[in-house]
Amino acid sequence: MRLIFLCTAILFNSICSCAQDIFKGYEHLFTAPLQYTIYHAESPIKIDGRASETAWQQAPWSKSFVDIEGKAKPLPRFDTRVKMLWDESNLYIAAELMEEDIWATLTKYDTIIFYDNDFEIFIDPDNDTHHYFEIEINAFNTLFDLYMSKPYRNRGKLIMGWNAKGIKKAVYIDGSINDNSDKDKRWTIEMAIPFADLKQDSISTPVPVNNDLWRINFSRVQWEINKKDKGYEKKKNPETNKPLPENNWVWSPQGVINMHFPERWGYAQFSSANSGDEKKSFALPIAEEAKKYLRLIYYKQVDYIKANKVYAKDLKALGMPDKIVLSNRQAATIKLLSTGTNYSSTIECLSGKWEISDNSKISMK
């Protein structure tokens, strides 16, 4: 019996060691996404930009935003954080953006708001990396909303025809806008996003229930600015006379300078508990660990086809094993079916079976 146990332990450690090695070179895409529990709002929320209701006061703040690439870059100059709540009709979001010089220029709905300093919301309700929504807002309370059927990397197109018609939004300015004679403190945002508006391509987002898991991330675009006359202008590169690159600060780091990697967004889990109730521990399903191996295959296939003009036809060519042991010690089997021009890959364990294809979408089989 002792010999059997020893052999099993050696096999388990060997597989775990292999699992670590296969991520070499891709570690920046597999840092653990942040997690947030969205509690139920037990009383009505007034959208005035202040988020002053008791339910808001009892809701936890997120961690402060970091650079989009994560720990490899310096911390942001100004602090940013968010809160979330929900009820049977809306997802509520409150954000606080510390800022000494509040600046905005855009006032027309559905203009590209990130040309100003802005706050951005990304929502993938079914966690498949497709069919997701983006909402941007600036200090003038000007909104830009769009829908993506799939990420740009998979030839997705920006669909501005989607509008969050029922959205309620407000911005509160603790200071002044476009006045460089004073030092501002912050601007705060409050939104109510109707679940009924999160639909497109005949796909509707159902009202969440307890323990439902969404992928969500938040971004703050921050430009370098100079004082000019009584207001501000973007700093420019003296050689090109073009604005300096913007800073991208996010809640859950992406690992790349690209918000359109939905699999890198944070996890948001809905709780039926009210915000004033005892806080619940976040429960991440084992499925999310299993899916990361499929995403690794996707990233490796992207690199493989660039180098070889075709997709790899077997796991060995990608340096991938056909068996993995998950953290709960469930054994999982990985398979790859490839013609060279397209492929699909599955991972299966006792908890379920999932598939990814060359369009990066993950589905349960």
pLDDT tens, position by position, 215-261 = 999 999 999 999 999 999 999 999 999 999 999 999 999 999 999 99
E strand or H helix at 132: strand 132-137
**Residue 39: count of CB within 10 angstroms of its CB:** 24
Read off the pTM.
0.93
Spell 266-276 as b/e; 16+ CB within 10 A means b.
Answer: bbbbbbeebbe
Q: Are 195 and 91 in contact (CB under 8 A)?
A: yes
Closest listed residue to residue 125, CA positions, set 41, 250, 38, 212: 212
pLDDT band at 8; cut points 50, 70, 90: very low
Q: Please tell me the distance from the alpha carbon of residue 220 to that of residue 228, in angstroms, as a whole number.
A: 23
- Residue 281's pLDDT is 81
CA distance 28 to 26: 6
Q: Which percentage of the chain shows pLDDT scores above 90? A: 89
Instruction: Find the range with the poorest average confidence among 1-15, 17-31, 230-244, 287-301.
Output: 1-15
Rounded Cα distance between 307 and 183, Å, is 52
Q: What is the CA radius of gyration of the chain?
A: 23
Compute the average pLDDT of residues 44-68.
97
Mean pLDDT of the chain: 93
117-139 b/e (C-beta count within 10 Å ≥ 16 → b) = bbbbbbbbbbbbbbbbbbbbbbb
Structural element, H or E, at residue 158 = strand 158-159
Closest CA to 193 of 209, 225, 216: 216
User: Of 360, 294, 359, 279, which Cα lies nearest the Cα of 326?
Assistant: 294
Q: Residue range 54-69: average pLDDT? A: 97
Residues whose CB is less than 8 angstroms from the CB of residue 119 and which lie 6 or more positions away in sequence, other chains included: 80, 95, 97, 136, 137, 138, 189, 218, 219, 220
**What is the arithmetic mean of pLDDT over 263-273?**
96
Query: Which of the four pLDDT bands, split at 50, 70 and 90, describes residue 19?
Result: low
- The answer to whether 232 and 222 are in contact (CB under 8 A) is no
CB atoms within 10 A of CB 357: 17
Q: What is the pLDDT of residue 321?
A: 97
* Strands 362-364 vs 213-222: parallel, antiparallel or unpaired: unpaired
Structure tokens at 320: 């991938």
- Of 43 and 215, the structure prediction assigns the larger pLDDT to 215
**At residue 111, does pLDDT exceed 60?**
yes
Residue 357 pLDDT class (50, 70, 90 cuts) = very high
- H or E stretch at 205: none
